Amino acid sequence: MAGKQREEEDGAWLSIGALSRATGIAVETLRTWESRYGFPLPERKPSGHRVYPVSAVPRLRRVAQALALGHRAGQVVGASDDALDRLLETSAAPPPVNTPATPGLPPVEDLAGQLKLIRAFDGERLSRSFLSDWARMGPVEFLETSIAPLVHAVGDAWSQGNIEIRHEHFFAERLGDLLRSLRMPRDERATGPLIAFATLPGEAHSLGLQMAALVLATAGCRVLFVGTEMPIPQIASLAKDLSARAVAISVSSSSKGSSTATALRRLRDALPRRTLLITGGEGAPPSRPGIDSIGSLRELDAWGRRIAAGLPVAPGNGPRA
């Protein structure tokens, strides 16, 4: 009985890593907010480890929502719950985010300026550049015209030796944090069918998967994001246990080939018949019976809105319910 009570008590607390995963906010950001604004406030276990209350998760998700709308951390992290609620209620139209010029750096509206920020590890200005675009664009336009070109530019710069792997990893983590923070408030409001997101074994790239998850969450689908390099039997079991309406698989150009097509066929055979299987990305093979290859984020958005509305997808876009 005492062991069960201790387990329940431990369940009310999270490590900073678990808090980061639950909210989509980077660990270093949480530490900065704790130091600067006094939130989230940890306690120390008898062992000396710092832990955070589970009750901080809903507020941190609302803070992330406010930041996604373009508000500054200084406005929202230390605000009272009532003030934060009023801020979100009055933010139907996202406010513009001003990005002041910094001597020695060009405006960040262009790819060259953003690449310089990546080389300088200037995550704050990079995030503000993204949020400025987000505030004036729809989600699909934001991803297609702001994010996707930069992802390609970073990949090209790395392959040409103009940036190093440390810059590419910094960019991927920063962008991943942002995409999660934009998606999670939409996850909480979504009432549509459950879509599981994963990549196949050997596929470590996650940004395409994150972008697709944001599109479908915005379309009203519930997102279960399980990440990269998932074994096929585990994906199939997950879909079966949770009655997922679809499984979404992202395939980068580095994974293009017959082995990916074979793995997708194996996954299709392992999934319940009712579960749709969709795939996308530069390395995705063409559609085949039971496996729907979606060619663009705009096409994915249309697919997601039909699924969220309970409508059958068109022939060639997966089997009908």
The answer on 75 and 27 residing in a single domain is: yes
From 57, 89, 121, give the residue that closes a domain.
89
From 151, 182, 213, give the residue that closes a domain.
182
- From CA 186, how far away is CA 182, in angstroms rounded? 7
φ, ψ of residue 225 to 5 degrees: the values are -100, 110
The answer on 203 and 176 residing in a single domain is: no
Cis peptide before 40 (omega within 30 of 0): yes
The answer on 59 and 7 residing in a single domain is: yes
The CATH number of whichever domain residue 261 belongs to comes to: 3.40.50.280
Asked whether residue 320 is domain-assigned, the answer is no
The answer on 200 and 171 residing in a single domain is: no
The answer on 212 and 129 residing in a single domain is: no
Report how many domains make up the chain. 3
The answer on 157 and 210 residing in a single domain is: no
The answer to whether the CB of 70 falls within 8 A of the CB of 132 is yes
Asked whether residue 147 is domain-assigned, the answer is yes
The answer on 259 and 170 residing in a single domain is: no
The answer to whether the CB of 63 falls within 8 A of the CB of 88 is no
The answer on 217 and 178 residing in a single domain is: no
Strands 222-227 and 50-53: unpaired
The CATH number of whichever domain residue 162 belongs to comes to: 1.10.1240.10
- From CA 49, how far away is CA 42, in angstroms rounded? 10
Asked whether residue 318 is domain-assigned, the answer is no
φ, ψ of residue 37 to 5 degrees: the values are -120, -5
Residue 278 in tokens: 């969709």
Asked whether residue 95 is domain-assigned, the answer is no
Which helix (H) or strand (E) element contains residue 64? helix 56-68
Neighbouring C-alpha atoms within 13 Å toward the C-beta of 241: 8
φ, ψ of residue 246 to 5 degrees: the values are -155, 160
Strand partners, 52: 14
Global confidence as pTM: 0.66
Closest CA to 245 of 279, 293, 278: 278
Strands 50-53 and 43-44: antiparallel
- Type of residue numbered 24: G
Q: Phi-psi region for residue 48, left (φ > 0), alpha (ψ -120 to 50) or beta?
A: left
The answer on 269 and 207 residing in a single domain is: yes
The answer on 255 and 166 residing in a single domain is: no
Q: How far is CA 237 from CA 204, 211, 268, 297, in A?
A: 21, 24, 12, 27
Note down pLDDT in tens along the chain; length 321 residues.
344 333 333 447 888 888 887 777 878 788 888 888 888 888 888 877 888 888 888 888 888 877 766 677 778 888 888 888 777 776 544 433 333 433 333 334 578 889 999 999 998 888 888 888 887 788 899 999 889 999 999 988 988 899 999 999 999 999 998 899 889 888 888 899 999 999 999 999 899 999 999 999 999 999 999 999 999 999 999 999 999 999 999 999 888 878 999 999 999 999 999 999 999 999 999 999 999 999 999 999 999 999 998 888 754 444 333
The CATH number of whichever domain residue 8 belongs to comes to: 1.10.1660.10
From 23, 58, 89, give the residue that closes a domain.
89
The answer to whether the CB of 233 falls within 8 A of the CB of 271 is no
Domain containing residue 28: 2-89
